[in-house]
Structure 1
Amino acid sequence: MNLEVYDLKDTSQEHTHFAFISEGKHGQIIKIIAYQNTGEDSNENPIFNLGFGDYNITTGQVDDRIVTDNGDMEKVLATIAQTVPLFLLHHPTAIIEVSGSTKGRTRLYQILINKYIEEFTDFVTIYGLNDETGELEYFSSHKKYSRFFAIKK
């Protein structure tokens, strides 16, 4: 992907946790990206949920519901997207599941997948959970999905 991204740090030996610093109108904010095994398998392929949020230094917790509004949303999302091939390099049989912590965020993810679909499909096949049928299907820009799944090509 040829998008502007933040410097990224792989913070785990398993290549499942990453960190970077968002810089914008509200200053520097630590962002955490975590691929968490859901404990579910699909045809022996482990399913990992991709989650991210702001790291709270005081509590040591990651908040995935906070609205930072730091003015760098596309750069943040491009940075998150760049972790997908890094993760899949070390977990090639994994299925990555993505859904927003709110309906609005899920809609935002769909908009961004639509915008950058050609870059994503260079290295993954994307599926969506169709809201109308409840079935998994190849991602289509003309349909609404509640969750997204990516599998390494």
Structure 2
Amino acid sequence: MDEPYYPYERPITEIRYDFRSISQEKEVRKRVIFTALDSPNIYNLALVDVLENGSMSDITETRNKDMRIVLATVIRIIDDFLHQYPAAIVLFRGSDERRQRLYRLIINRELSEIQKKFIVLGGFDDLQPESFQADQQYDYFLILNAV
């Protein structure tokens, strides 16, 4: 077709990674979703369970006794995502206070390793983010490439 046409965009608003949490009791489909936010280069990260009916939930408790493996997988996924999109900033927060505390503890425990490749910030809803500090209770976390 040689008709003139208008330029168009196909924005990428969602990028996803799928994996399975496996134990002797069950297998749970997991999904990590990166969704573009209104701010340039900022992507929200969501870790969800894909339920049997195909819906997704970020509040279910898998209880598959493999939390360390799941979180290590998520860290690898963040690494892959930031390798593909080097200017991106990943924002995430827990869906409840318990998960938010868990994320803070994991970042604190792994901070020296994480900082070899990434910058980690903690943020408050009404203030600028700051370098992650273990004793702060942040509203959200940011991870970006160190280079």
Partners of 2:14 and 2:35 within 8 A in 1: no
Letter of the 1:22 partner, please give it. Answer: S
Q: Aligned residues: percent identity?
A: 27
CA distance, structure 2, for counterparts of residue 146 and residue 17 of structure 1: 23
Higher strand share: 1
1:150 aligned onto 2:143: yes
What is the CA RMSD across the aligned residues, in angstroms? Answer: 2.0
Q: Computing the radius of gyration over CA atoms, which structure comes out larger, 1 or 2?
A: 2
1:38 aligned onto 2:31: no
1:135 aligned onto 2:141: no
Partners of 1:130 and 1:143 within 8 A in 2: no
In structure 1, the residue matched to 2:63 is 69
Structure 1: gaps of 5 or more residues: 1-12
Letter of the 1:33 partner, please give it. Answer: V
TM-score normalized by structure 1?
0.81
CA distance, structure 1, for counterparts of residue 84 and residue 140 of structure 2: 23
Deviation at 1:142, TM superposition (A): 2.0
Structure 2: gaps of 5 or more residues: 1-11
Letter of the 2:104 partner, please give it. Answer: Q
Q: Deviation per CA, 1:88-112, whole angstroms, max 9, x where unpaired?
A: 1111111100101111111110000
Runs of 4+ in 1 over 4 A off after TM superposition: none
In structure 1, the residue matched to 2:52 is 57
Aligned runs of 1:69-88 on 2, under 5 Å? Answer: 69-88=63-82
Letter of the 1:40 partner, please give it. Answer: S
Partners of 1:98 and 1:149 within 8 A in 2: yes
1:20 aligned onto 2:19: yes
* Count of matched residue pairs: 135
Return 122-131 or 26-35, whichever deviates more: 122-131
Aligned runs of 1:94-133 on 2, under 5 Å? Answer: 94-130=88-124
